[in-house]
């Protein structure tokens, strides 16, 4: 998993929140005036070794509908209470005070960035991947698990049913959740469709062969919305697809991605 992409209404204000409250670093920033947008990449380490966020500001658009399908991003911190105090001191919004997770013992809290995106703070020891989760809601958990296993090559890391609160979650990824970013899929009992809004965009995933990745997606019931091939000008090879719930992902050629970073 390379980065997660979403739209924000005020790029400078969002960067300030992520760096001052969440401890991220601004890794790079670019302005594309001919296409009327700007990008900023932030994270806890270099893009070639860490999962990062890619913020997109489209000229003149100051607000987005996040919808009810996107859940949250997860950040592992050593002290949830201390991080919440910092967010409050900087004028950030706390939507859930520090407390154990429902049905578990891990200390968590929820905060919102200036655009309304939720971040779950998870108390954890030192980890090489503090930006550790992207949570999306799905309408059929077994279908989603099979899709991401077969077409994306992800592992089912864990699955937990919580009948008391009427939801089931599955963590999918490419390695243990304490050392890698994971995709958290949530199924809420009886809900099969969600409003995705226009804020959250996609996850970018590295692959050694975008053409084979596209074929795998087609074979497993996904939809290709951009056929594999190079992007004009920068020549990085990509392909874009939708999962069975309509969530978008982009596969990026690994060699081309590292060249782009250089």
- Binding site membership for Zn(2+): which residues? 54, 72, 120
Could you confirm whether 120 is annotated as catalytic? yes
Numbered residues of the known binding site: 54, 72, 120
Q: State the DSSP code for 101.
A: P
- Of 156, 212, 179, 230, residue with least CA distance to 49: 179
172 token code pair? 């999918």
Active site residue: 47, 120, 123, 177, which one? 120
- Of 118, 124, 131, 122, residue with least CA distance to 27: 131
Which of 198-228 are b and which e, b meaning 16 or more Cβ less than 10 Å from the residue's Cβ? ebbbbbbbbbeebeebbebbeebebeeeeeb
Q: State the DSSP code for 33.
A: G
237-242 and 223-230 as β-strands: parallel, antiparallel, unpaired?
A: antiparallel
| Residues carrying an active site annotation | 120
């Amino acid at each position: 998993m390379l980065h997660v992409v979403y739209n924000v209404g005020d790029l400078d204000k969002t960067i300030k929140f992520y760096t001052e409250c969440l401890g991220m670093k601004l890794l790079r920033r670019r302005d594309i005036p001919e296409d009327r947008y700007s990008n900023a990449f932030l994270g806890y380490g270099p893009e070639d070794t860490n999962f990062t966020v890619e913020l997109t500001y489209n000229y003149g658009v100051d607000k987005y509908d996040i919808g009810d399908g996107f859940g949250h991003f997860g950040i592992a911190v050593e002290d949830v209470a201390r991080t919440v105090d910092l967010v409050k001191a900087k004028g950030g919004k706390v939507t859930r005070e520090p407390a154990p997770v429902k049905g578990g013992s891990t200390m968590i809290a929820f905060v919102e960035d200036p655009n309304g995106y939720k971040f779950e703070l998870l108390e954890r020891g030192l980890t090489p991947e503090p930006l550790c989760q992207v949570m999306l809601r799905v309408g059929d958990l077994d279908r989603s698990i099979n899709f991401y296993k077969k077409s994306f090559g992800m592992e089912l890391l864990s699955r937990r049913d919580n009948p008391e609160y009427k939801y089931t979650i599955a963590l999918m990824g490419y390695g243990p959740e304490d050392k890698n970013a994971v995709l958290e899929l949530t199924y809420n009992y009886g809900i099969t469709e969600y409003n995705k809004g226009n804020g959250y965009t996609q996850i970018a995933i590295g692959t050694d062969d975008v053409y084979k990745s596209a074929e795998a997606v087609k074979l497993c019931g996904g939809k290709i919305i951009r056929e594999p091939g190079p992007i004009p000008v920068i020549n990085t090879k990509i392909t874009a697809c939708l999962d069975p719930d309509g969530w978008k992902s982009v596969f990026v050629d690994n060699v081309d991605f590292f060249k782009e970073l250089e």
